[in-house]
Structure 1
Amino acid sequence: MYLVAIAWLYVTLMMALAEATAANGSVLGAIVTFVLYGLLPLSIVLYILGTPGRKRARRQREAQEQQAHVQQQADAAAPASIGQPDQGGHPTGAAEGGVVAPVREEP
């Protein structure tokens, strides 16, 4: 596709060059020829032909955002300590000094 675009720009550039170097031609006429026959139509055609790619990229980006949102919701709904013993961040049965207080039993 880009090869055709480059070839079309080459042809219009040669048309503009012929316009500029002609005996009754002008540089302004060459610029107008290049813009109106080359750049403007080519930009419109390339924009139209690029629409499916832009649409595909937008859908892919939206799908990734949706997947990230679902993953974020799943992470927020599940507590971190389910199924993992002693991962709650609380100290074990030992006190801070490392000594466990004796448990009194009544007879």
Structure 2
Amino acid sequence: MYIVAIAWIYVVFMMAITETSVVAGIMTFLLYGVLPVTIIVYVMGSGRRKRKRYAQEMQRREELQKSQEVAASTERPPEA
């Protein structure tokens, strides 16, 4: 995934170097290179973020369940 982003940044950098002015080169690099690459990398990483969030939620549930089991096992029955 990242090799394509790096290659695209390289291509856009070469395009920016050939611009006639410095401002045009910077705008070309930012608008054709950095902005689209950041959007694409963010969108492509959404699955990874979703899996990480799901794993954290499952871990929290397991910890809560274990703490409830410990609390239930340490309770004393009422004395008669």
Q: TM-score, normalised by structure 2?
A: 0.90
**Residue 15 of structure 2 aligns with which residue?**
15
Residue-pair matches, total: 76
Structure number, greater radius of gyration: 1
Name 2:63's counterpart in structure 1.
68
The 5-angstrom pairing of residues 1-107 of structure 1 reads: 1-19=1-19, 25-79=20-74
Q: Which runs of 5+ in 1 are unaligned?
A: 20-24, 82-107
Offset at residue 47 of structure 1 (A): 0.7
TM-score for both structures, normalised by structure 1:
0.68
Report how far residue 77 of structure 1 moved: 1.1
Quick one: higher RCO (CA 8 Å, sep 6+), 1 or 2? 2
Between the aligned residues of both structures, percent identity stands at: 46
Q: CA RMSD in A?
A: 1.4
**Could you list the per-position Cα deviations for residues 60-87 of structure 1 after superposition, in whole angstroms to 9, with x for gaps in the alignment?**
0000011001111111111289xxxxxx
Runs of 4+ in 1 over 6 A off after TM superposition: none
